[in-house]
Amino acid sequence: METQGTQGETTYYEHGSAAERWERAQLFFGAKDYAGAARVLAGLVEEVPEQTGPRLLLARAYYHSAQLSRAEAELRAVVERDPVERYARLMLGRTLQRQARHAEAEPHLRIASALAGDFPEA
């Protein structure tokens, strides 16, 4: 039986195994329901904080729903654990740029480019 209000919503977003919630989050994200994806992913990331995939998708969901400080926090957590995670560096740089923090963004964007093999001509 489904409950009403916030409890019912929380139950829905937390329902199922980790794999089922991961799949549901990807469906929400693919449908551009970034807030819905974030609600599923936040619990999943809390449950499996060592996994990069869910945290990156959570950061992307936050980024696309203009929750930039949350996106930044998730991306910094990924970069702290894995400093050579290219996509996290790129997204962190873009998230900082979107907050008009260009000087902070630049080193992350340079590292992302270097990790992708994009080196400037000498």
- Extract the tokens encoding 112: 């992302």
- Taking the C-alpha atoms of residue 42 and residue 93, their distance in angstroms, rounded to an integer, is 22
pLDDT digits (tens, 9 = 90+) for 32-46: 999 999 999 999 999
15 near 43, Cβ under 8 Å?
Answer: no
Find the mean pLDDT for residues 79-106: 96
Kindly indicate the confidence band of residue 27, based on its pLDDT and cuts at 50, 70 and 90.
Answer: very high
- Extract the tokens encoding 43: 């619990």
Is pLDDT of 22 > 50? yes
9 near 36, Cβ under 8 Å?
Answer: no
Architecture of domain 5-115: Alpha Horseshoe (1.25)
- pTM of the model as a whole: 0.84
